[in-house]
């Protein structure tokens, strides 16, 4: 029986050359990359081992973030938080006491109405930020801080607004603070000798009025009422019942008030016979007295030289 020998085809010269060229290029690329890495490592404050750990930490962190995102979609963190709250409550960490501090004028029951809804609730479930926001809606509350005192107490610290004056409404009086924030209705008897402010839009001008009165501290204590006229200027009524009409504009009204204070210091205008002092005209002051007392002096002008 005759035998036949089958010869395998040898790799072509071109293919072999191309393969050798590819291997050479790969070797050169590796050496170039390695050289670049070595060059970069010289400028980094890390060793190669530390750099590997950093890359590993980044990879693990990304994996953890992805796992948390998937778990969040499935509601697992919320379930875990709820279970933790139940365990805390079983361990005695629940709201059983509420302590309110800093309340003097505010009706304390209004604070408890908002906080007592947290009674018997697990401490981890008490949303202190939402509770603070609810307390800030109370008219007397300027600021509030809510904190937990483990294991069972919620503490509420209140900063109250200070009553500054009384705002005259068409049918009632309202206490306001120095910023014009309305606090609560008040009777005329309870308002006592507090400064009364009236006129449309006067509530928005309380701070401007305070600045104006500070220009003449000696007169400030004598002012009983201030009326905002035409949304542009003030009429001041003193405790003597006399009225001072001031001009428009912050600077002009402050200047007029200071001039009136000087006149009063020299001539004792307050407590005298003049009922109205009109300083709306520049460089002049008009004095009005009741006709029955001194009609010939009505509308008698005093020039700037007499001021």
> pLDDT higher for 40 or 166?
166
Dmax over CA atoms of the chain, in Å, equals 161
Per-residue pLDDT reduced to its tens digit, 138-187: 999 999 999 988 778 889 999 999 999 999 998 899 999 999 999 999 99
Look at residue 246 and tell me whether its pLDDT is greater than 50.
yes
Mean of all residue pLDDT scores within the chain:
79
User: For residue 65, what pLDDT is reported?
Assistant: 61
User: For residue 254, what pLDDT is reported?
Assistant: 96
Written as six digits, the tokens of 175 are 């206490």
Task: Please give the domain boundaries of the chain with CATH numbers for all domains.
Answer: 16-73 (no CATH), 92-160 (3.10.20.310), 165-306 (3.40.50.11690)
Phi, psi (rounded to 5 degrees) for 40: -65, -35
- Give Cα separations from 186 to 171, 174, 196, 296 (angstroms): 11, 5, 12, 43
User: For residue 307, what pLDDT is reported?
Assistant: 41
Structural Rg of the chain based on CA atoms: 42
**Rounded-to-integer distance, Cα 187 and Cα 41, Å:** 80
User: For residue 27, what pLDDT is reported?
Assistant: 57
Tell me the HSE value of 132 on the side-chain side, using a 13 A CA sphere.
14
Contact 260, 269 (CB under 8 A): yes
Report the pLDDT averaged over residues 6-30: 55
Whole-model pTM: value is 0.63
Look at residue 79 and tell me whether its pLDDT is greater than 80.
no
pLDDT band, residue 88 (cuts 50/70/90) = very low
3-state secondary structure the chain: CCCCCCCCCCCCHHHHHHHHHHHHHHHHHHHHHHHHHHHHHHHCCCCHHHHHHHHHHHHHHHHHHHHHHHHHHCCHHHHHHHHHHHHHHHCCCECCEEEEECCCCCCHHHHHHHHHHHCCCEHHHCCHHHHHHHHCCCCCEEEEEEEEECCCEEEEEEEECCCCEEEECCCCEEEECCCCCEEEEECHHHHCCCCEEECCCHHHHHHHHHHHHHCCHHHHCCEEEEEEECCCEEEEEECCCCEEECCCCHHHHHHHHHHHHHHHHHHCCCCCCCCEEECCCCCEEEEECCCCCCHHHCCEEEEHHHC
pLDDT band, residue 21 (cuts 50/70/90) = low
Contact 139, 182 (CB under 8 A): yes
Per-residue pLDDT reduced to its tens digit, 188-240: 999 999 999 999 999 999 999 999 999 999 999 999 999 999 999 999 999 99
């Amino acid at each position: 029986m005759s035998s036949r020998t089958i010869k395998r085809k040898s790799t072509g010269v071109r293919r072999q050359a191309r393969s050798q060229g590819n291997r050479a290029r790969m070797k050169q690329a590796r050496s170039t990359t390695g050289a670049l890495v070595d060059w970069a490592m010289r400028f980094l404050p890390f060793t190669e081992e530390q750099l590997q750990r950093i890359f590993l930490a980044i990879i693990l962190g990304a994996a953890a973030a992805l796992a948390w995102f998937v778990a969040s979609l499935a509601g697992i963190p919320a379930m875990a938080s709820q279970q933790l709250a139940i365990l805390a409550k079983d361990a005695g960490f629940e709201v059983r006491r509420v302590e309110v501090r800093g309340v003097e004028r505010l009706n304390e029951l209004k604070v408890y109405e908002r906080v007592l809804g947290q009674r018997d609730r697990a401490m981890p479930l008490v949303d202190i930020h939402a509770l603070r926001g609810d307390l800030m809606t109370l008219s007397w509350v300027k600021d509030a801080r809510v904190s937990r005192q483990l294991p069972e107490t919620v503490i509420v610290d209140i900063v109250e607004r200070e009553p500054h004056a009384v705002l005259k409404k068409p049918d009632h009086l309202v206490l306001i603070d120095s910023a014009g924030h309305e606090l609560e209705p008040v009777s005329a008897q309870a308002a006592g000798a507090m400064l009364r402010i009236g006129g449309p839009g006067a509530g928005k001008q309380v701070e401007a009025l305070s600045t104006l009165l500070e220009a003449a501290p000696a007169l400030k204590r004598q002012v009983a009422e201030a009326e905002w006229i035409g949304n542009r200027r003030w009429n001041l009524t003193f405790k003597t019942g006399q009225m001072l009409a001031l001009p428009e504009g912050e600077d002009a009204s402050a200047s007029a008030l200071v001039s009136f204070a000087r006149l009063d210091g020299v001539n004792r205008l307050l407590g005298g016979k003049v009922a109205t002092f009109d300083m709306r005209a520049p460089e002049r002051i008009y004095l009005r007295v009741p006709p029955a007392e001194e009609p010939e002096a009505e509308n008698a002008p005093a020039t700037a030289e007499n001021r």
